[in-house]
Structure 1
Amino acid sequence: MLLDPTYTVLGPDPTNRKCRINCYAFQQDAIVSFQGWQYAAFYSPLHEEAPEPLYVHVARRQLGLKAPQRDWEVLLLMDYPQTVDDGHNTVQLGISPGDGTIHLSYDHHCDVLRYRYSCRNLALKPTKFSWTSSNFTTTHDYLPNLPASHKPFHYVTYPRFCAADSDLLFTLRDGKAGLGNDHLYLYSSASGHYSYMGQHLTGIQSNPYIHGLSYRSGRLHLTWVYRGFVHYDGWDAPADTKHKQQAGPNGAENNHDMCYSYSDDLGKTWKNGRGKVIASGDLETATIDNNSDGIVAFRITKGSGLTNQESQVVDLEGGVHVLNRSSLSVGPAADTVEAVHWKHYYKAPGDNGDWIERRLRPVYGAARGRLAIAKTGDIFIILPDAEKGHMYIEKATISSGFAAHEVVWFGEGLWGEPLVDLARLENDNILSLMVLADTKPPTQQSGSRNVVVLDFEL
């Protein structure tokens, strides 16, 4: 069993909105450590008496071998007020290892790109810089070296960052739910510029929802599900906004199939799980789409409870792990429908590695879980109970081939979708979770919660 964690508060979570805007599974690196410092990004109001608008807050703290050496420093980016009550419009954070720039992208649901980045060396030499907003650019509608007229920048949802060697990858979806594509960009720490790698994922009357980008030992791994598009009245009207609802006309009931591909050249060439090239060169014309050979790891039908963007990690040996859920049973009775359960999908390393599926606990509520790799190679699976505000941490041991699962911690009063500092867990053997927690002690404001970080020493 894990010992109870230390608990630190980043700031208050907004209380006056219908939609949560912090702690969503598709925030790939909202909390991340780099060279002995930890960084986190979230939305919060200016103060309790002024709940609107919200602003991007970015926090940092110096880490020690076990406990943090400093308290959180939090800077406020006051030049951009966030006003739209939509859970899609989260903030994303990325760090370029080569030049120490910190990158942020925020407030999107089929909107123009919103992006900013820091001065060079801010994360490489943190003690040389005061933690102030003056170290960041203003909000841009373009990426450095790419113009605002670049078409995918006009209709952005779900941006993500992923460090790759000394550089930084950036992805985004353009188009609406059920009818969109994913685009890939590479930031060069040497030049400070982005290059467009292409439309690496194309949806045919659908859109791909990626679980994440994972880069390890020169290989970029990508898993996703498709969401089929259902036509509705006015879907093609220029003024259509139905798709921008929190749960629009094309919902998760139309998700299907678990897919996988990888690249050994940062997205120039993509292969299926058996090593066959399925897209290369000009990704505008040679892109991965629904019909690409060998991409489907599990054929999962619509209406099975399959969600989008849950979680993906790659273990120390190169094995691929995905967390998702479905109502389809495992094994001989594969056509039998059951209650929706979380599923741990695992592909053994290499082109000859097979996929297997293991059923976990039942799902209560819509909140998504998280996977993380320990320094030992074991897998931690963090599963929320969205109906009761409970959170479970399960451990799957590498020695059992990840087949042996056990609950190692249980917590109450915790909400949202847990986010994990993967780098700190793998490097320092400390599990840092960013979650929403009921205030302690409770405030006068009913339902008040904080954005917090829980640190477990393993």
Structure 2
Amino acid sequence: MSGRRAVLLSLALLDSSALYFVSYDGVVNNNSLQQEAILTHKGHQYATWYTASRHAVIGRRPVGGSRWETVTLPHRLSVDDSHNVISLGISPQDDTVHVALDTHNTRLHYLRSTPGLAGGGQPWRAIAFGQVRRTLGEVELGAMTYPRFVVTPEGRLQFSYRTGGSGNGVNELAEYSGGTWRKLGAWTSATGSYTGPNGVVSGTRNMYLHGLTYDRRGRLHAAFTWREGNAGVLCARGGLTNHDTGYVYSDDRGRAFHLVRGADGGWTKREVPVAPNHTQRSKIVLGRLESAYLVLPGGWIVAASKASGWTDWRLVFDGAGLRAFGEVSVDASRLGTQGILSVQYQQT
């Protein structure tokens, strides 16, 4: 993929009867809050989904290959809720595959493979994942939502999750190193006062993450929006209490986060001149030359170059032929290393 155009290299059918239902305007197999549903590690690409029987499935293939091996995990989706996604993580330290799934203000369902499975030399079998646990290793997280995995520059696997609930919750981190998980704790607060445009005050809130990503220099970036606990801040009934877009970063692997402001306290905002014509969310990823790719709902792709200061946004791929439902999942790891953008989606 170049910054000028995107060429379709191949299409692969993962499951002709994958589970499909619409909940909260989304589907459980591809949702922007997943991190990750598809990723690449040591010459293999991994993808995950729920099949028609509601079982969780993980597939893998050699990068560039056409044959997917699949394993069916010993867990079935418990409820028709698009929050209850499957998220994958791989630890570079010991090549274990980690799976977090099926949670929305409930205790976690979690599996971890035997060491070395993601190294490629072991048989791809369900027995390697063992039984489902309701804890993160030996760590009890309690009721939680939005499981995400990220990898630090040193190769430590981190786990992001929200405790509490909508309008009154906090984001927390845990870390896997040396074969053991430990909690790092909360890095947001649910308390404090927010005054709505109508003068009504809300005393609790939660942060909804748009993404949590390490860059090549080791800085952890987080983009988000707030949701208030007091619906009275709405100027009209029937809406959501979300407000503002925010950004923070951490240079100590998530122990402390910092606000960013320009000299004038503001940000540069630029509208992408390609309308998504959709209410669902997009995903932005950077290529090897730091071209930015915005993957819109339905699999449409627009791009901008670093040379232009990311101002020359243009359509580089028309997703109409994919027949993709809404939000899609993106393999950012493969784009960064090979310049190939893999997109996982569910057809309508």
Structure 2: how far apart are the matches of 1:171 and 1:4? 33
Cα drift, residue 155 of structure 1: 1.4
Cα drift, residue 90 of structure 1: 0.6
Cα drift, residue 86 of structure 1: 0.7
Asked if 1:91 corresponds to 2:86, the answer is yes
1:394–1:408 contact (8 Å) kept in structure 2: yes
In structure 1, the residue matched to 2:95 is: 100
Aligned match for 1:175, one of 147, 164, 170: 164
Cα drift, residue 13 of structure 1: 5.2
1:24–1:419 contact (8 Å) kept in structure 2: yes
Q: Which secondary structure state, in structure 2, belongs to the residue aligned with residue 424 of structure 1?
A: helix
Asked if 1:115 corresponds to 2:110, the answer is yes
Asked if 1:140 corresponds to 2:133, the answer is yes
Unaligned runs of 5+ in 1: 47-53, 233-249, 275-346, 385-389, 439-458
Cα drift, residue 428 of structure 1: 0.5
Q: Which secondary structure state, in structure 1, belongs to the residue aligned with residue 157 of structure 2?
A: strand
Residue type of the alignment partner of 2:77: Q
Cα drift, residue 10 of structure 1: 1.1
Cα drift, residue 426 of structure 1: 1.1
Structure 2: how far apart are the matches of 1:167 and 1:104? 16
Asked if 1:362 corresponds to 2:270, the answer is no
Residue type of the alignment partner of 2:343: L
Q: Which secondary structure state, in structure 2, belongs to the residue aligned with residue 426 of structure 1?
A: helix
In structure 2, the residue matched to 1:10 is: 14
Structure 2: how far apart are the matches of 1:167 and 1:154? 23
Residue type of the alignment partner of 2:344: M
In structure 2, the residue matched to 1:330 is: none
Q: TM-score, structure 1 length as denominator? A: 0.66
Aligned match for 1:378, one of 291, 310, 315: 291
- Greater CA radius of gyration, 1 or 2? 1
In structure 2, the residue matched to 1:39 is: 46
Structure 2: how far apart are the matches of 1:400 and 1:429? 19
Q: TM-score, structure 2 length as denominator? A: 0.86
In structure 2, the residue matched to 1:343 is: none
In structure 2, the residue matched to 1:398 is: 306
Cα drift, residue 252 of structure 1: 6.6
Residue type of the alignment partner of 1:175: G
Asked if 1:410 corresponds to 2:318, the answer is yes
Cα drift, residue 195 of structure 1: 1.4
1:261–1:272 contact (8 Å) kept in structure 2: yes
Residue type of the alignment partner of 2:8: D
Asked if 1:266 corresponds to 2:273, the answer is no
Within 5 Å, give how 1:30-429 maps onto structure 2: 30-46=37-53, 54-63=54-63, 68-77=64-73, 79-124=74-119, 126=120, 128-146=121-139, 148=140, 153-164=141-152, 165-188=154-177, 190=178, 192-204=179-191, 205-216=204-215, 217-230=217-230, 253-273=240-260, 355-360=267-272, 361-384=274-297, 390-412=298-320, 413-429=323-339
2:95–2:117 contact (8 Å) kept in structure 1: yes
Structure 2: how far apart are the matches of 1:140 and 1:193? 14
Q: Deviations over 1:397-439 (max 9, x none)?
A: 111000111111102212131211111111101110111124x
Which has a greater percent of strand? Answer: 1
Poorly superposed stretches of 4+, deviation over 4 Å: 13-16, 351-354
Q: Which secondary structure state, in structure 2, belongs to the residue aligned with residue 427 of structure 1?
A: helix
Cα drift, residue 14 of structure 1: 4.3
1:227–1:252 contact (8 Å) kept in structure 2: no
In structure 1, the residue matched to 2:201 is: none
Q: Deviations over 1:92-117 (max 9, x none)?
A: 00111111111111011111111111
Residue type of the alignment partner of 1:27: Q
Residue type of the alignment partner of 1:405: W
Asked if 1:436 corresponds to 2:346, the answer is yes
Structure 1: how far apart are the matches of 2:104 and 2:55? 17
